[in-house]
Structure 1
Amino acid sequence: MDLSARIDWDAMLAVAMPLGAAALLGLAVHLLLMRIARRVRAADSRRGRILRVIALPLAFAVPLLMLALALRATPLPPQALDWSQHAIRIALFACVTWLLVRVVSGIERAILRQYPIDVADNVHARRIHTQTRVLGRVVMGAIVLLGVATALMTFPAVRQVGATLLASAGIIGIAAGIAAKPVFSNLIAGLQIALAQPIRLDDVVIVEGEWGRIEEITASYVVVRIWDERRLVVPLTWFIEHPFQNWTRSTADMLGTAVLWLDYRTPMAAVRDELQRICSDDPRWDGKVCIAQVTDTSESTMQVRLLVSARNSGDAFDLRCAVREGLIAFLAREHPEALPRTRATLTRSGGDDGPSHAPAAETVRSPHAEDGELPGD
């Protein structure tokens, strides 16, 4: 029998024509959208940013949608048609999930763009950044979870397993809850941090005895950049369950303290004048606080606290170092007697030192000593 006689050309044409037309049209749309995405990649206008967000997912979703419509016009066997439409449906779910995640990310970037944090007093901007980033990651995670769950529910076996789990939600539900406790704990902690904001991005904190800045807040952990460029990764729940120091909770302004131990002969008026001069000449001083006070004394020295203010923690640290160095140099140059020193009084032994006031040996007794002669008498 001739091979061409066994091929049903009419059936092949009935399948190939709609699929081919859908493929060509979808390819044209795909290339057009990809070209648009490349052209607006560097655009800074609002329209360009919107097109950049939606163009790439639509470049894959529109051809798939056209292919799904074309499959309905083909005389494929029911089983092959069901499998093909199921695969396209899952791919469309993935494209929609991708599009929604990009939309949330675009909205997040648009909000952050309106509130720059590279300014002197950025407390409000850091509050907006923290809320936007944490809530954005929570929403994106929920979208991905919903997309995966929706795709899985299109399989009959998965739907049956889900119905079985719902029907027997006793021990299995408890076990699943225990297993998912860290995930839900971090999710709730993330929402608490986003709303209550015990920490914000770029906050100066002391965590586990380490001084650093909040560099990143994710859906499960916080990255603290330590002053020596190390990174401390802390779970979100730690900031809810443990006390910690936040130096920039209400304002970015900081007070810096420098302590000097000086001699009692230190001229405090000269110290205050020199401190005021150092602060006035330093651009890191914000013009608010510049104080020198004697806060403590010991048997040989007195403690002088120098309190200065700056616009942020970094300037405060550098300013107090400059103040400490400047005052030490000033005292060593102008008032060397103000630097701490150890005193000793030397006396000569013998009769030249004057009469001795020590009591006679025979009259010295310890309290409650027994009556009788002293030892050695």
Structure 2
Amino acid sequence: MSGGRRLRVEADGGSRGNPGPAGYGAVVKDAATGEVLAEVAESIGRATNNVAEYRGLLAGLRAAAELDPSASVEVRMDSKLVVEQMSGRWQVKHADMRRLAQEARAVLPAGQVDYGWIPRAQNSHADRLANEAMDAAAAGRQWQRSTTAPTTTTTTAATASAVATPPAAPAGGGGRPLDLVLVRHASTSLTEQQRLSGRYGEDPELSETGRQEARRVAECAEVRGAGVVITSTMRRSRQTAEAIAERTGAQVLVDPQWDETDFGDWDGSTAAEVVRRWPAEFAAWSTDPAVAPPGGEPLVAVERRVQRAAAALRARWAGERVVLVTHGDPLRALLRECLGCGSHMQRRIRVDPASRTLLRLHDDGTSEVLAVNRV
């Protein structure tokens, strides 16, 4: 493989019925930092699992080539069949798969691409996209594409009632501030066990306690008068947002830039388990925001996407009240930016499940913090 930029493609595909309503998903990451650079997905009508998996691979490779045609690309999939065939160890006998394999090999020179198998649990991001695409195919829908920068992100109606698509440049608020109500999602079973629950992990739904918390947030004074509720793509965040929207009548918009940190190999672990199993890695991560959990995302990558998303909010919603349902790390990163605090303060800010933090963002880039961690 070449020695320049390194990208990682994770891809998946599937079919409800094999053959049946099919779809694929793929994500491109910076291999060094774990930052998500592109997401692609599509419902492809009726097809087999294997054809859908190849379609996901092909889409992921094309997305990587568009980002940097000279990059070294590591492809990781939970399909042993595709990995072994593309590595040249197994023959491709099926005509449709043979054609797709040839197209995939033509995207980038062979010396730039490396193939490897990963367990399904480590391919959860692409798996989620593929399942949403299959949902769309089963319902006879086409995939809805988002224009949220900087990734090529797609979202179906199964994910949200609409997709946030802020303009590229500020529309000009005439000095009108954005009143932003930051809500941390309500509790899940993993929240209650104090286990890490990252961007590409289990994606649990709200627990019974969490559903009660979400209903209480929906009744609180801070969310009244909001015309829109913006949420991450993650299930617990979406369910909290939907409870608020049902009570207030606000529109729900989805933006993946507000997803939780990707905790990689630490996902599902408690802090004590991480310290015991990865003492050196945890120590480095605790002191350096550029260090990622093994297989995960560093804090600096979270900060970058939060900054982009916050700038889009200022531009699009000046003069409005907006509820933003997100997760611990993105919420703390935005609050730190408003307070002018460094990354060393990230773990010192407490934000409880279903808590509210109130910010006022001005179009000149200044901010006011009105309240933190209201419960």
TM-score (norm 1): 0.20
- Between the two structures, name the one with larger relative contact order (CA 8 Å, sep ≥ 6): 2
More helix by share: 1
